[in-house]
């Protein structure tokens, strides 16, 4: 489909209720492999829903043309942004629904439709939002590439077919192709089965290259020599990077932590897993996850690789957990949870699980109930994962109605501990003063997290001195108001990424019945030509710059008064009407010296009477008639004015009855909330929207757009927000604090025979050899998602759990409760632009290393930062002393990895397929 998907004009849509019913019904259809679905910007879709539910064709919530601007990386390549989330950034609609919306509303010029195919993948059918992007090139010319996207359901031979369609790369019919996939800068893998799918071949975004010549030993020997060079590398076992396959840093970080968990790694290096693979477990993955993981671990600990490409492992994970398909960013803890569970079931020594009925404590001693619970757990679950990571906690539930107490003991694989949540929130806003000479100022404010919009205004008032009731708060998006907030709305509706503008109003307590009205002002640029193709003779317009909110006395809502008011407001960006008058006077010296105005600010001419809009007391600007005349009428007016001017020249001593024409800098038009549709007479709203329409030539002469876009930073922007610092022990205490169950997760009381919001308390009973602590940094609520940047201080040694355990040591044979840190998974950045790395202590030499995808560097203990997300602790009595002397890092010693540092979505060593011919 062409890049410009605009239909030129939208067809007449059906009624609003019919629109909603048709689109909603179509969106309920099931996904079918091969069907097309389309991505729609979530903001546009939400506005459309608001519009159709309003039930008013003239509602201010009219969404305008379909606009997917926010989904693109840029408006040149129209490349889709990375890490977009369904139902947060976009929605998916089937093809029929898309075409209906397109015919009703049209689409922004030049924007391509975001069509995506439904693919049938193992264990799921889904819309493939991010296809595999491949760069095709000749092996003899790596500089010349052609980009192409492939579905994961496509066959490998599609690469060859696409290459054959490129005339400059035509292969001889007799040529026999060989495909090579470059896994690193120094090694390649042979792709033998061209009937395999992209998914089965574990291909990711990267490069495809081939040589359209007869196969020569030179290229083959080069490939083999490069592989041999890598095989000759002998570095410290385990000190090995993992290539980023495209937003897979979350997986690499979790794998590095597990790789540096001694008991688990030694289990796989000894090949103990081979005897315990469980191929019949219905809850397992037929041993495939365990085998894929074992292959990665053996490569990492062979000492032969600078970096390993975990492509097969990534593909296996996607096979059995569809949420990890594709190359979007994910949570390392979610991957770790799946992997530990998958390894456990693949290696479960219990081949046939028996049914066990769980019993409540019913007043029995904790020791008895705990031992029974652990025995029952081992009767169904017995693996190296249980041996290494499983512990036991006590769960106590109390019914608020009948006081029934339920006590159970449940196994756990890791502890997810909460972080103390701050009751405050940092917000950044742009403040727009009434002073036309003052530029917008960016402020950083501290507001109550559970506060309202008025609290934001109050905080800003303390910095500006302007009363809170003289402020209006709005979310500005794409040169228009996405939303104008009321004072009592919750701040949770405002996301950190929103561009929030706060406007100073001339007086407080502005409401629909007051003496002043708040007007929303848009800036628009008119095209040079009328748009006859759209079925009308009006000029097309495009929004630019920042919109304004101003309060205007109802008595001054005439066009002339508004023109003068807006002219003053735009003074810093506009060179004013004086220059326009001067230029016009100097260019037309023969028109006389009269200074009387004969033209209104809107640009219309009335030589016989006062401006028709003078004295208008409406709540908004209402056109007094047709805004602009047809071209023929305009020509007649010009001829008449010229005739009058000639008559005046013949009567120099007589006062001219025709007033001098003066061209306005801009015109004023009442529009809808999106600034896309002009409003008719009598359609005043509680929130009027006005457009300032600039003629392109006038805008170029008298409006400085660069100056208008400038802003200054308040000193509050230079003061870093003080982060909260807590101890890890405080988080564990929160984990064991009594809490009340949420309404979404009630407990069924066996005595009351109904669900209750019981109180719940968790206590630690016994701990495993390796304890994983998950710091719950990501907070998800009904209204918002955020990351908690709380600094958690945690010990590297001697983490003592004796004070948290209910089970006290009864004899000297009981294991101690002290732990040392062995690895950390870090998360940097926010929800949408985060990056995972890891620190780990090598089990052989005791040296700490920092793993950032394929890059590995030495690390000091003091470098282990507050960005920790997952903590791996090993019990001190199980930690062995280093078996080899630790290396001595020095400034002259090079890093053990030779490739450049990688980032999410960018591989330091792209996957590459090489095609050779014999």
> Which residues form the catalytic set?
249, 835
Q: Which residue's structure tokens are 């000749």?
A: 138
Residue with tokens 């040149």: 76
What residues does 410 pair with on adjacent strands?
Answer: 393
CA–CA separation, 777 and 868 (whole Å): 9
Cβ burial 789-828 (10 Å sphere, 16+ → b, else e): bbebebeeeebebeeebbbeeeeeeeeebbbbbbbbbbbe
Q: Which helix (H) or strand (E) holds 166?
A: none
**HEC states along 265-333?**
HHHHHCCHHHHCCCCCCCCCCCCHHHHHHHHHHHHHCCCCCCEECCHHHHHHHHHHCHHHCCCCCCCHH
Instruction: Give burial (CB, 10 Å; 0-12/13-18/19+) of 227.
Output: middle
Q: Which two tokens stand for residue 97?
A: 């629904």
* Bridge partner residues of 66 (DSSP): 107
Q: Are strands 712-713 and 441-448 parallel, antiparallel or unpaired?
A: parallel
- Pair 328, 272: CB distance under 8 Å: no
Place of tokens 């007016």: 637
Report d(CA 183, CA 170) in Å as an integer: 26
132-138 and 141-150 as β-strands: parallel, antiparallel, unpaired? antiparallel
Q: Which one, of 577, 516, 571, lies nearest residue 549 by Cα?
A: 516
Report the C-alpha gap between 520 and 532 in whole angstroms: 29
Residue 492: strand, helix, or coil: helix
Residue among 190, 31, 41, 203 at smallest CA distance from 131 = 203
Instruction: Give, in order, the Cα–Cα distances in Å from 444 to each of 210, 430, 604, 712, 833.
Output: 54, 9, 45, 12, 21
């Amino acid at each position: 489909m062409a890049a410009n998907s605009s239909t030129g004009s939208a067809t007449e849509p059906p009624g609003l209720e019919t629109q909603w019913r048709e689109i909603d019904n179509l969106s309920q259809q099931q996904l079918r492999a091969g069907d097309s679905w389309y991505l729609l910007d979530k903001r546009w879709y939400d506005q459309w829903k608001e519009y159709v539910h309003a039930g008013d064709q003239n509602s201010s919530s009219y969404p305008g043309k379909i606009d997917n601007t926010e989904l693109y990386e840029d408006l040149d390549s129209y490349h889709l942004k990375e890490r977009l989330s369904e139902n947060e950034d976009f929605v998916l609609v089937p093809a029929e629904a898309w075409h209906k919306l397109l015919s009703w509303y049209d689409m922004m010029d030049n924007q391509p439709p975001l069509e995506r195919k439904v693919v049938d993948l193992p264990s799921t059918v889904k819309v493939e939002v991010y296809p595999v992007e491949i760069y095709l090139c000749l092996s003899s010319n790596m500089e010349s590439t052609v980009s192409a996207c492939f579905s994961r359901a496509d066959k490998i031979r599609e690469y060859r077919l696409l290459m054959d369609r490129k005339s400059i790369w035509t292969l001889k019919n007799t040529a026999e192709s060989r495909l090579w996939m470059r896994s690193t800068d120094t090694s390649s893998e042979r792709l033998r089965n061209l009937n395999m799918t992209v998914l089965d071949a574990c291909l990711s975004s990267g490069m495809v290259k081939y040589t359209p010549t007869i196969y020569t030993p030179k290229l083959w020997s080069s490939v083999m020599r490069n592989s041999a060079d890598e095989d000759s590398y002998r570095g410290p076992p385990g000190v090995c990077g993992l290539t980023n396959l495209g937003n897979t840093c979350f997986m690499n970080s979790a794998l590095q932590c597990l790789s540096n968990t001694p008991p688990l790694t030694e289990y796989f290096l000894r090949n103990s897993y081979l005897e315990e693979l469980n191929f019949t477990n219905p809850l397992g993955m037929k041993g495939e996850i365990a085998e894929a993981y074992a292959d990665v671990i053996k490569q990492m600990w062979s000492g032969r690789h600078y970096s390993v490409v975990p492509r097969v492992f990534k593909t296996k994970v996607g096979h059995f957990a569809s949420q990890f398909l594709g190359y979007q960013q994910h949570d390392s803890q979610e991957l770790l949870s799946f992997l530990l569970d998958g390894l456990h079931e693949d290696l479960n020594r219990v081949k046939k699980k028996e049914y066990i009925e769980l019993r409540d404590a019913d007043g029995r001693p904790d020791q008895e109930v705990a031992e029974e619970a652990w025995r029952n757990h081992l009767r169904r679950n017995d693996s190296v994962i249980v041996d290494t990571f499983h512990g036991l906690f006590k769960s106590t539930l109390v019914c608020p109605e009948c006081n029934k107490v339920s006590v159970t003991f449940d196994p756990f694989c890791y502890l997810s501990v909460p972080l103390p949540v701050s009751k405050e929130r940092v917000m950044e806003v742009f403040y727009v003063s009434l002073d036309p000479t003052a530029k917008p100022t960016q402020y950083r404010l501290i507001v109550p997290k559970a506060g309202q919009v008025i609290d934001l205004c109050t905080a800003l008032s303390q910095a500006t001195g302007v009363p809170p009731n003289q402020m209006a708060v709005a979310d500005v998006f794409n040169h228009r108001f996405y939303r104008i907030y009321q004072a009592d709305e919750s701040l949770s509706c405002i996301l950190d990424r929103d561009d929030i503008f706060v406007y100073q109003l001339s007086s407080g307590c502005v409401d629909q019945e007051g003496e002043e009205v708040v007007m929303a002002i848009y800036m628009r640029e008119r095209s040079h030509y009328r748009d006859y193709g759209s079925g009308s003779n009006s000029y097309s317009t495009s929004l630019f710059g920042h919109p304004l909110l101003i309060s205007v006395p109802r008595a001054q809502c005439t066009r002339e008064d508004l023109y003068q008011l807006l002219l003053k407001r735009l003074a810093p960006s506009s060179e004013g009407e004086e220059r326009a008058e001067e230029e016009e006077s100097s260019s037309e010296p023969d028109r006389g010296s009269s200074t009387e105005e004969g033209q209104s600010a809107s640009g219309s001419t009335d030589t016989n009477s006062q401006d028709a809009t003078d004295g208008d007391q409406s709540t908004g600007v209402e056109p007094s008639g047709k805004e602009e005349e047809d071209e023929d009428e305009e020509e007649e007016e010009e001829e008449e004015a010229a005739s009058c001017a000639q008559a005046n020249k013949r009567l120099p001593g007589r006062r001219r009855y025709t007033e001098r024409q003066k061209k306005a800098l801009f015109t004023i038009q009442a529009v809808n909330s999106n600034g896309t549709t002009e409003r008719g007479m009598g359609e005043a709203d509680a929130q009027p929207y006005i457009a300032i329409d600039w003629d392109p030539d006038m805008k170029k002469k008298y409006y400085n757009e660069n100056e208008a876009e400038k802003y200054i930073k308040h000193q509050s922007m230079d003061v870093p927000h003080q982060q909260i610092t807590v101890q890890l022990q405080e988080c564990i205490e929160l984990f064991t604090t009594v809490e009340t169950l949420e309404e979404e997760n009630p407990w069924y009381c066996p005595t009351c025979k109904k669900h209750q919001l019981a109180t719940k308390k968790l206590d630690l009973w016994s701990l495993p050899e390796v304890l994983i602590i998950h710091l719950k940094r990501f907070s998800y609520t009904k209204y918002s998602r955020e990351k908690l940047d709380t600094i958690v201080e945690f010990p590297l040694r001697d983490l003592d759990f004796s004070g948290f355990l209910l089970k006290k040591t009864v004899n000297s044979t009981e294991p101690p409760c002290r732990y040392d840190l062995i690895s950390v998974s870090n998360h940097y950045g926010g929800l949408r632009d985060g990056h995972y790395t890891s620190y780990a202590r090598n089990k052989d030499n005791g040296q700490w290393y920092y793993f950032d995808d394929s890059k590995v560097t030495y690390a000091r203990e003091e470098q282990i930062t507050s960005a920790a997300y997952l903590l791996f602790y090993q019990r001190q009595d199980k930690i062995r002393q280093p078996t080899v002397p630790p290396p001595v890092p020095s400034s002259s010693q090079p890093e053990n990895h030779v490739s450049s540092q990688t980032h999410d979505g960018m591989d330091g060593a792209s996957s590459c397929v090489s095609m050779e011919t014999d």
